[in-house]
Structures are given as C-alpha cells and as structure tokens.
Amino acid sequence: MGFTKRELVQFFDELTGFISEEKQSEAKILIREFILDFEKSYKYKDAVLQKDVPYVPPYYISAMPQSLQEEIRRKMTAKLKELGEYSPENVELAMHSKIYDLRGLIDIADYVKWADKEIYSDFAKKLAVSM
C-alpha cells in the first residue's frame, strides 16, 4: 500500500501526538527532514514520464513566476491553434491546471525542473530556520 504525501504527513502527525510535548518539536523536525530527503530522491524526469512514480506533485501553473506563465501561455496558444482547438477559454482552462495536465501538449520538463528546485530550496530554508 502506498501513501500520497498528504497521507504520509497526516500519518506522521498522528504519530507525533503519541509522544511527549517536549519531544514533539524534535519529532516534527525529523519528520520534515525525512520528507525532504524522500522528495530530493524523487526524480522529476520519472515523474514527467510517469515511470514507477506513485505520486505526482501538484505543481499549479498559477504558482509559477509570471514570466514562466506567459511562456506556457504562448506555447499553449500555439499548440491549440495547431490542433484547431484554440479559444481564449481553452487557454485559460489550461493556465489554471497543473503542469502535468499539459504534458501531452507541450514539453513540461523544464517547468517541472524549476518547480522541483524552487519548492525544495524553499522547503529546505524553512526547515533550516525551524531547527
């Protein structure tokens, strides 16, 4: 049986409730380190191609910098025009989705790589501050 990240975090949170209050903050730090190490071992190319990957991170396009969003918008517009499916509504629908939802239409590897790097570095900074 596999866990999604959310289920795993919830499981760890429930376990943390069983230890003394003095040890809870230490346990939470260890749990965050475990999840960070696990996510760092997660290969984004495997996720993009969905090879042996039980969990796909929900990287939303709207969480990316404006420059990346505009680049994705241009590529989606061109691809939808090429397919004869262009409409402003279809482009907006694509822009409000997860990057993995677009993998059949545009090359998403660079955007996933950016998201992995930014999410991991942000999480690592927060982890370092909490220690």
Q: pLDDT tens digits for the chain (131 residues)? A: 456 667 777 777 788 888 887 888 788 788 878 777 766 665 555 555 555 555 566 678 887 889 999 999 999 999 999 999 999 999 999 898 888 889 889 999 888 888 877 766 666 666 666 65
- Per-residue pLDDT, 98: 85
Domain count within the chain: 1
Q: Is residue 117 part of a domain?
A: yes
Q: Is residue 33 part of a domain?
A: no
- Per-residue pLDDT, 97: 86
DSSP state at residue 105: T
Contact 129, 48 (CB under 8 A): no
- Please list, in sequence order, all residues whose beta carbon lies within 8 angstroms of the beta carbon of residue 33, skipping any fewer than 6 positions away: 127
Ramachandran sector of residue 59 (left: φ over 0; alpha: ψ -120 to 50; beta: rest) = beta
Q: Is residue 3 part of a domain?
A: no
Q: Is residue 16 part of a domain?
A: no
- Please list, in sequence order, all residues whose beta carbon lies within 8 angstroms of the beta carbon of residue 45, skipping any fewer than 6 positions away: 109
Q: Is residue 27 part of a domain?
A: no
pTM, two decimal places: 0.53
Q: Is residue 49 part of a domain?
A: yes
Neighbours of 55 (CB within 10 A): 15
Q: Which of 122, 98, 121 is nearest to 108 (CA)?
A: 98
Residue owning tokens 């680049």: 71
Q: Is residue 22 part of a domain?
A: no
Q: Is residue 7 part of a domain?
A: no
Structural domain boundaries enclosing 125: 42-130
Contact 99, 108 (CB under 8 A): yes
Neighbours of 72 (CB within 10 A): 20
H-helix segments, the chain = 5-16, 21-40, 44-49, 66-83, 88-95, 109-130
